[in-house]
Amino acid sequence: MKITFLGTAAATACPLVFCRCPACQEAWKRGGKDKRRRSSLLVNDDLLIDLGPDVMSAAFAFGIDVSRIRYCLQTHAHSDHFDAGHLVTRLSDYATKDTLPLDLCASRETLAHMTDRLNLEEPGISLLAKEGQEKLHLNAHPMQHMDTISLDKYRITAVESNHDPRDGSLLWVVEEGNAVFLYATDTMRFTENALSLFRERKWQFDAVAIDHTYGPGTKGGGHLCADEMIEEVTKLRTLGHLKENSRVLATHISHEGMPLHKELSAFASKHGYEVAYDSLSIEL
């Protein structure tokens, strides 16, 4: 399994559009790994997690053919994770040729909120209706915590998120062969239901991409800060859900209390994890 980070920032991207804080100003100067698109991730070349607003700019920059995507897992429908304008290009009105079929997995609440956003672009199309799915040449799979679906070589499981219950936010576990990958953003601390499922399935993750929105000592709403993330990863290790050589990668990074990439990586190495950056690819 190959994992490629298309974006590793929180909702505002990083540096922020209008921000002149020292971190953002220095990020403009350094560039490179300190310029972050909003979070999304590609598994191999055909499974996307979150059809966000920066998917195409990442594809252009990293030479990725996103027309090959066959599967999309949507964590939730917030605007930094879902761009309806990308999905509507699957309509025949856009003259898109040779469109591959798409399997879209999300909670029922997320599909409903995605539909609301779609209707701002193209009124009358519902992701929860067969007619709407046919117009978009896709199959939508409403999923909830503990649901598992097999799609070709992938086994995909929905996990309860501690982020936005109204949106039915989900974390995702992707299995391919013997490789097991946990995508855990956006979320706060793992819920008891999530930990119970990890225990029930006896998962040992080869890699975890985990929310790291705020820097050390900087707590905020709806997400993990560095200290909380470290505690959650320690919990996974203690419970036996990480192997000796598992990769733990911080993502969904904001500027709030956050060192820049070089300094944050030095901090992370002392605490047993890595800091993801846009274009990072790893093999499991």
Please provide the size of the chain in residues: 284
**Does the pLDDT value for residue 120 go beyond 90?**
yes
pTM: 0.96
Q: What is the pLDDT of residues 12-32, one digit of tens each?
A: 999 999 999 999 999 999 999
CB 30 within 8 A of CB 260: yes
Confidence of residue 221 (pLDDT cuts 50, 70, 90): confident
Kindly give the residue spans of alpha helices, DSSP state H, lying in 168-208. Answer: 192-201
Please give the pLDDT value at position 166.
Answer: 83
CA distances from 123 to 40, 129, 162, 212 (A): 26, 14, 31, 36
* Pairwise CA distance, residues 201 & 99, whole Å: 35
Q: In what order do the strands lie in the sheet with 170-176?
A: 148-151, 154-160, 170-176, 179-184, 205-211, 242-251, 274-275
